[in-house]
Every structure is written in structure tokens, then in C-alpha cells.
Amino acid sequence: MARSISEIQSFQPVARTLMGPGPSDIYPAVLQALSRPTVGHLDPLFIAMMDEVKQLLQYAFQTDNPFTLAISAPGSAGMEACFVNLVEPGEKVIVCRNGVFGDRMRENVERCGATAVMVDDAWGAPVSPEKVEAALKAHPDASTLAFVHAETSTGACSDAQTLARLAREHGCLTIVDAVTSLGGVPLKVDEWQLDAVYSGSQKCLSCVPGLSPVTFSPRAVAKMQSRTHKVQSWFLDQSLVLGYWSGEGKRSYHHTAPVNSLYALHESLLRLYQEGLEHAWQRHQDMHQHLKAGLDELGITFVVDQPYRLPQLNAVTIPDGVDDAAVRQHLLTTYNLEIGAGLGDLAGKAWRIGLMGYGARHENVALCLKALENALR
């Protein structure tokens, strides 16, 4: 029962250890950056910081794309930004579905007035390049291939490089969900020639939730520029947003940027740059191995086969006879430790243990293993 409005007080959250599918543990320096004094969204100081955010995002994405920025809303809006800008009504899009987010892509395609051709793989399996190639051959009129690089709902990593090559061979652009991959596993936008890629601030970047980094290749930009229909979303129309994020001279007002959240993103990207991508990828892998060793001892097995496992998102099968909700509740109330529930097909069957960004540390692995051991006793 909600309390009376007159009883409401300032919110004082408990400090949790966040080992779910995100938000992940935030770098302390990122929380400090977040609360620095707000400046105007057209202040020259802020514009200069945005330029740095773009440079740091280009590093994180491994791209020289000039059209690289952060959408002022969560990853779901980043997904929608890619679809509404690249897909026109009447087009056909091949959508790979091996978890929740492939299905969300289908929703986006259909709401653009386009047709989604679904390529289904099992939850926990990667996207099958063979099935994708067959679909591309069967649908030579498709304009776009859309797939999830790192499926947050299952912990499976798909071969983005191969999928993008197949798309190019069949004249398709690619829309790639890198929400959970960015910063956690190799993601090389230019080398792999990905066209439209979106991510989220609250996963392996260890920034607060609410922003969606995106990058568009020159091929994607050309497609946007040759559109015959207006983008159905004014807020997400990237041709308008770019007037604020770019330009040698004057920046034009589009919407009021989330100033403080961008301070936080700047700081988290700077941390990633200073650590170095290769080091960050290795750290995620190392912590995953430590977690796996401990889970093996507890007899807990993975949903995803070894070659396709994301180190940063460990979906594990809930042992027989164990009360899913009771265990998560115990971890939360006794240890202030959050792990993720299963989503969609995996609801009640799996837990999702995140080792993302700042959360990929020995102390988090040790806490999680010991707390799970006690909870399952």
C-alpha cells in the first residue's frame, strides 16, 4: 500500500551489488561526474564535451563514422532510432530472433510499415549464418538484415562479422543490437562493416541507464539521405539530431540534451579508453572463467554452449527443485546482491548473472558465488 503523500521523504537507496542484466555496477567516478553542476545544453563548454563523447564513442565502437552520438533515451529508443531512420514503409527486413530483443526488432519493423521476415534460432543459440544466408537468397528484395550481437535475454553471442558479410553480399544494410556487447566483447564496427549499431549506457560501460550510443556508417547515412518518406519519429529523426551533435560552426537546437547523464557517459567512456578495449575484453573473459569455475563446483550449468557464451551475461539453469524467486529475494535482502531473472522463454528456468564493466571484478564474483552457495544450501 502506498503511503500518504505527506509522508514521502527523500529517497535513500541501499547500496546494491548489481549483477543482473543491467544496470550494472556504476563506476564511483561516474556517479561523481553525474552530479557536477548542470550547464546549458548549448553552452560552449558542453558542446566541447559532446565532441569528446563522440571521439570516445568512436573508440569504443572502433569506428571512424562521423555519425556517432548518444541518443537521449535508453537502448530501446536507440533500437527504434535505427529502424525508423533506415527502414521505409513497404520494405522487407530480415530479422534474426534468438531471444527477446530479436522479437522487439520485429515490432519495430512492423511499426515502420515494413515486413519482417523472421529467421528463428533457439533461445540460447547464436544466430545461424546458414539460415540467414538462405533467407537472404529467398528474399532478394530485402533491404536490411537486423540481428542482436549479444542477446541480453539468453547470454548468446552471434558472429556479427559473418552476418554482416552475408548481408553485404546480398545488398542489405545491417542493423545491429550491441546493447550488451559494447565494451564487454570485441565489437569492430568498421572492420566488420556494420551499418547501424546501437548500444546502451547501463551495461559494460557501467554508466547510469538512460542513454543509447549509436553509430551509422556512410552507407547507412546515404540510405537516410535518399529516403522518400519522412522519418515517422520527430524525436528520433537523426537528420535533425545531427544538427545538434555536429557541424563545424553553430549547433542548432533540437531537444534539450540530458546534460548530466552525458557527463556520466563521458566519464565512463574515458575509463574504458584509459583501460583499453583489449584489456577490458580480457578482464570480462577472466572474470567469467572465475565465475564459471565456482558455478561448476555448485553444479550449476550454462544455458548457452561454450563457444557462444557472453562472458558479461551468464545465463545459468536454475537447479531442479529450487525456488527461483525465493533465491533472488534472499540474495537481495541478505546480501544486497541483485542477479537477473529469466526473461521470456527462460522465465523461471534461468538466472542471468551479469559481469559487466565495473561489475567484472573479483569481489563481485566471490560475493555472488558465496551468496549463491549459501542460498542453495
Q: Binding segment for a copy of itself among 139-147, 261-269, 304-312, 361-369 (CB under 8 A)?
A: 261-269
d(CA 258, CA 337): 29
Size of the site for a copy of itself (CB under 8 A): 82
Binds a copy of itself by CB under 8 A, chosen from 120, 286, 338, 345 = 338
Is residue 293 within the footprint of a copy of itself (CB under 8 A)? no
d(CA 96, CA 163): 10
Nearest to 98 by CA among 365, 315, 268: 315
Binds a copy of itself by CB under 8 A, chosen from 70, 94, 104, 242 = 104
Nearer to a copy of itself by Cβ, of 171 and 348: the residue is 348
- Answer for the pair 7, 338: CB distance below 8 angstroms, yes or no: no
Binds a copy of itself by CB under 8 A, chosen from 75, 183, 184, 311 = 75
For residue 285, what is its C-alpha cell? 573473459
Is residue 52 within the footprint of a copy of itself (CB under 8 A)? yes
Binds a copy of itself by CB under 8 A, chosen from 62, 76, 161, 193 = 76
Is residue 65 within the footprint of a copy of itself (CB under 8 A)? no
Nearer to a copy of itself by Cβ, of 100 and 173: the residue is 100
Nearest-5° Cα angle at 168, 164 to 174: 50
Q: Binding segment for a copy of itself among 14-22, 220-228, 285-293, 296-304 (CB under 8 A)?
A: 14-22
Is residue 251 within the footprint of a copy of itself (CB under 8 A)? no
Q: Binding segment for a copy of itself among 26-34, 135-143, 191-199, 286-294 (CB under 8 A)?
A: 26-34
Coil/strand/helix, residue 7: helix
Is residue 249 within the footprint of a copy of itself (CB under 8 A)? no
Q: Count other Cβ atoms within 10 Å, centred on residue 51.
A: 12
d(CA 211, CA 75): 7
Is residue 108 within the footprint of a copy of itself (CB under 8 A)? yes
Is residue 11 within the footprint of a copy of itself (CB under 8 A)? yes
Question: Taking the CA of residue 222 as centre, how many other CA atoms within 13 Å lie in the half-sphere pointing to its CB?
Answer: 5
Residues 6+ apart with CB under 8 A from 130: none
Minimum gap (Å) between residue 80 Cβ and a copy of itself: 5
State the greatest distance between any 2 C-alpha atoms of the chain, in Å, as a whole number.
64
Nearer to a copy of itself by Cβ, of 84 and 136: the residue is 84
Q: Taking CB under 8 A as the criterion, which residues in 114-173 touch a copy of itself? A: none
Is residue 59 within the footprint of a copy of itself (CB under 8 A)? yes
d(CA 137, CA 166): 10
Nearer to a copy of itself by Cβ, of 142 and 257: the residue is 257
Nearest to 269 by CA among 49, 40, 15: 49
Is residue 228 within the footprint of a copy of itself (CB under 8 A)? no
Q: Count other Cβ atoms within 10 Å, centred on residue 137.
A: 10
Minimum gap (Å) between residue 263 Cβ and a copy of itself: 6
DSSP alpha helix (H) spans, the chain = 28-34, 44-61, 75-86, 100-111, 129-138, 160-169, 218-225, 238-245, 259-275, 277-298, 324-335, 362-376
Minimum gap (Å) between residue 140 Cβ and a copy of itself: 28
Q: Count other Cβ atoms within 10 Å, centred on residue 280.
A: 21
Site string for a copy of itself, 186-215 (x = CB under 8 A): --------------x-x-----xxx-----
Nearer to a copy of itself by Cβ, of 73 and 224: the residue is 73
For residue 74, what is its C-alpha cell? 535508453
